[in-house]
Amino acid sequence: MEYQYKTLREKPELKENAAQWFHEKWGVPKEAYLNCIEDYLNGNTEYGWYICLDNEKIVGGLGVIENDFHDRKDLAPNVCAVFVNEEYRKQGIAGKLLNLAVEDQRAHGISPVYLVTDHTNFYERYGWEFLCMAQGDDEPEQTRLYIHK
């Protein structure tokens, strides 16, 4: 299966679909995603949005934002909203999206990049290193914070 990996700058016509897709996966208001995506499309930020397409269907995606709702505001930017549709998992899609995001950010002079997650032994496969624990906004437990240099 040949998937397409794109930035939303390469496929700006998908911004509404992408905002809706991320909203459905994470429950964050569609408008919040749309605002971040439009800032990126308008060149107000280099913090990008990345999608995997099966034909024209979004099957995976992630974004880069200033802070992914945690107390370590000094550690920015953050990869956020990493998701691959269940039936498309275990094909390396998330890894390719993560690598695309890291390389794109580095190409714009942005490095390192961070992310928060409850997963262990997943992000390490793609060059991420555990850095510290962080306190998520409105979360009772601390969460793992990773760095990609």
Q: Tell me: the pLDDT tens digits for 27-86?
A: 999 999 999 999 999 999 999 999 999 999 999 999 999 999 999 999 999 999 999 999
Tell me the C-alpha distance between 116 and 125, whole Å: 15
| Span 4-110 CATH architecture | 3-Layer(aba) Sandwich (3.40)
Which residues, 6 or more positions from 34, have their beta carbon under 8 angstroms from its beta carbon?
Answer: 15, 16, 19
Q: Is residue 1 pLDDT above 80, yes or no?
A: no
Average per-residue pLDDT in the chain?
Answer: 96
Tell me the C-alpha distance between 100 and 96, whole Å: 6
Tell me the C-alpha distance between 149 and 112, whole Å: 4
Tell me the C-alpha distance between 112 and 146, whole Å: 10
Q: Is residue 120 very low, low, confident or very high in pLDDT (cuts 50, 70, 90)?
A: confident
Return the domain boundaries, the chain.
4-110
Strand pairing partners for 133? Answer: 144
Concatenate the DSSP letters of all residues of 86-134 into one string: GGG-SSSHHHHHHHHHHHHHHHTT---EEEEES-SSSGGGGT-EEEEEE
Averaged over 86-96, what is the pLDDT?
Answer: 96
Q: Which pLDDT value is given to residue 12?
A: 98
Strand pairing partners for 112? Answer: none
